[in-house]
């Protein structure tokens, strides 16, 4: 315990799913948290987004560990709003040592309008960069920046994504571009002893995966497939015989990259993917 004791960590998309898991796990290891989330639906997703009550539950779980948490609603597409939240959080908690750009959507499915593409790029790519750039003025020597990418970001290719539709194409594009962003900015930050790395999960057991549009995409042969119908298809993405990894599996990697034990790790891409990329020879 205490691997990030005394640090303050900002996390986007912290109301539920991976973001909540990262917040609680980091708090268990001694960090105070700046947590923000849109807490409103995004039309393109066609599944419910996190709520204010979800963000309040994240705060309750963090406070249960004995750590402090500062929460606000903010849309990562709005750079000024993200900047304001981080500035206020730093004023409240005294410093910023780590930022975790976690917020994301997946409006997957064929036949979607182009808004599924643009919203995904705006949130998953531009939103991640907004979060990092808003945090940079507060991040001093030894700071760590962590991007939550995706195994999809390490699989090359674009074009016709079939049942994944424009949202699926945008998801891959956004995550692929974040890989290049990490590679480019890691060198720029290294001279000031600041680090940036990405974690690339495969299917993860969150609300983003468990939605009707996702089930429909993985089982296009069925009308209104259920979670039970989709899980065997989820498993085919991986080399290991599991349909998904758990949020905590990703959070363990977040703690490692946030902690000083990874002080010389930068520009890296850590796969938490149950062998999804090995299966593809990548």
Q: Is 171 a catalytic residue?
A: yes
What is d(CA 202, CA 214) in angstroms, rounded to the nearest whole number? 14
* Beta partners for residue 72, in sequence order: 36
Contact 55, 37 (CB under 8 A): yes
Strand runs labelled E in 121-194: 139-148
> Which of 254, 225, 192, 226 shows the shortest CA–CA distance to 4?
254
Pairing of strands 269-272, 195-201: parallel
Largest CA distance in the chain: 55
What is d(CA 263, CA 15) in angstroms, rounded to the nearest whole number? 28
Q: Which of 47, 158, 171, 181 is catalytic?
A: 171
CA distances from 259 to 120, 195, 246 (A): 30, 11, 21
> Which of 72, 51, 69, 52 shows the shortest CA–CA distance to 60?
69
For 36, other C-beta atoms within 10 Å of its C-beta total 29
Contact 218, 234 (CB under 8 A): yes
Q: Please, what is the angle between helix 127-135 and helix 165-190, to 10°? A: 20
- For the CA atoms of 274, 279, 280, 282, the dihedral, rounded to the nearest 10 degrees, stands at 60
* Beta partners for residue 139, in sequence order: 96
Q: Which of the residues are catalytic?
A: 171
């Amino acid at each position: 315990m205490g691997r990030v004791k005394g640090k303050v960590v900002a996390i986007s998309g912290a109301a539920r799913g991976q973001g909540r898991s990262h917040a609680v796990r980091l708090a268990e290891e001694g960090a105070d948290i700046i947590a923000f989330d849109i807490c409103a639906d995004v039309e393109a997703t066609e599944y419910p987004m996190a709520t204010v009550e979800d963000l309040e539950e994240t705060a309750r779980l963090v406070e249960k560990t004995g750590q402090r948490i500062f929460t606000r609603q903010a849309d990562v597409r709005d750079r000024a709003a993200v900047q304001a939240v981080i500035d206020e959080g730093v004023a409240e908690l005294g410093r910023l040592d780590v930022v975790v750009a976690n917020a994301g959507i997946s409006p997957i499915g064929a036949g979607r309008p182009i808004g599924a593409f643009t919203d995904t790029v705006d949130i998953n790519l531009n939103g991640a960069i907004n979060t990092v750039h808003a945090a940079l003025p507060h991040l001093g020597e030894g700071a760590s920046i962590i991007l939550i990418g995706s195994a999809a970001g390490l699989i090359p290719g674009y074009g016709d994504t079939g049942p994944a539709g424009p949202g699926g194409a945008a998801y891959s594009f956004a995550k692929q571009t974040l890989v290049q962003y990490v590679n480019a900015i890691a060198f720029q930050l290294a001279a000031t002893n600041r680090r940036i790395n990405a974690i690339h999960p495969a299917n993860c057991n969150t609300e983003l995966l468990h939605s009707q549009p996702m089930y429909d995409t993985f089982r296009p042969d069925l009308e209104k497939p259920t979670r039970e119908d989709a899980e065997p298809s989820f498993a085919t993405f991986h080399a290991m015989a599991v349909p998904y990894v758990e949020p905590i599996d990703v959070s363990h990697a977040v703690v490692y990259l946030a902690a000083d034990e990874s002080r010389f790790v930068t520009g890296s891409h850590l796969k938490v993917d149950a062998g999804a990329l090995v299966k593809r020879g990548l």
